Structure 1
Amino acid sequence: MGIDPHLEHNLESFFTMDYPMFELLFCIEDTVDPAIETVQSLMSKYPQVDASLYMGGCKVGVNPKINNMQPGYAAAKYDLIMISDSGIKMRNDTLFDMVNNMTEKYALVHQMPFTCDREGFAATFEKVC
């Protein structure tokens, strides 16, 4: 278990999004994950942002990622939920863009992640796909 070299920069971009009302729900499976310190540091740096940290997950099915996110999902305050990964950097207008593209006909909006800073095979594969 290691930390992505851009973890802090990526996560900080979530804290600086420009949207009237949102919350950040960080779900980390392992209580000894070094990313916990990064999340806690950012929560201290941006106390005006409604952010919570959930650890341990909850078994609701066979998908470990869904199990990991379940406590955050159960605690969510708002009807609209955006799920993202720590390897994604958010633009400050991402939430506005996604919500503005929702209509009565389209209730789900997916944006392709743009990867630019990561190195290695997985990052190269993400750039191609």
Structure 2
Amino acid sequence: MDDSEPGEVPLARRLGPFDAIMIVMGGIIGAGIFVNPAVVARNVHTPLLVLGAWLIGGMIALIGAFVYAELAALRPRVGGQYAYLRDAYHPIVAFLYGWTLLLVVQTGGMAGAAIIFGRYFCELFGLSISEQFVA
């Protein structure tokens, strides 16, 4: 199933099942699971609505997973979202997406995870540090 151009060296597929599961769990669960339940419960007020909100969110995530499963079945090439955007639109769209992901999306996620880690670390060891210095 190698549909690469002649003379093009395809990327090696080196991820095993364990690697893939850990990447998906890290991407889906992330650090937000430690903060979001309290925010949802504070704003919704009833346990049934809290569970309903999580169920709706899970259904939306499942639909997104089905979309990516369809894309992977249609275009079984290495490259993920970059390859899909390159093939569907134009290489410049995929290029801009890749750099935006690197410079904006992932850095924001890493900063959020660092702040959450800092808060939990301070709580665990009983440190009272100003909020601006936590991360």
Structure in which a larger fraction of residues adopt strand: 1
Would you say same fold, with TM above 0.5?
A: no
User: TM-score w.r.t. structure 1 length?
Assistant: 0.29
User: TM-score w.r.t. structure 2 length?
Assistant: 0.28
Higher relative contact order (Cα pairs below 8 Å, separated by 6+ residues)? 1
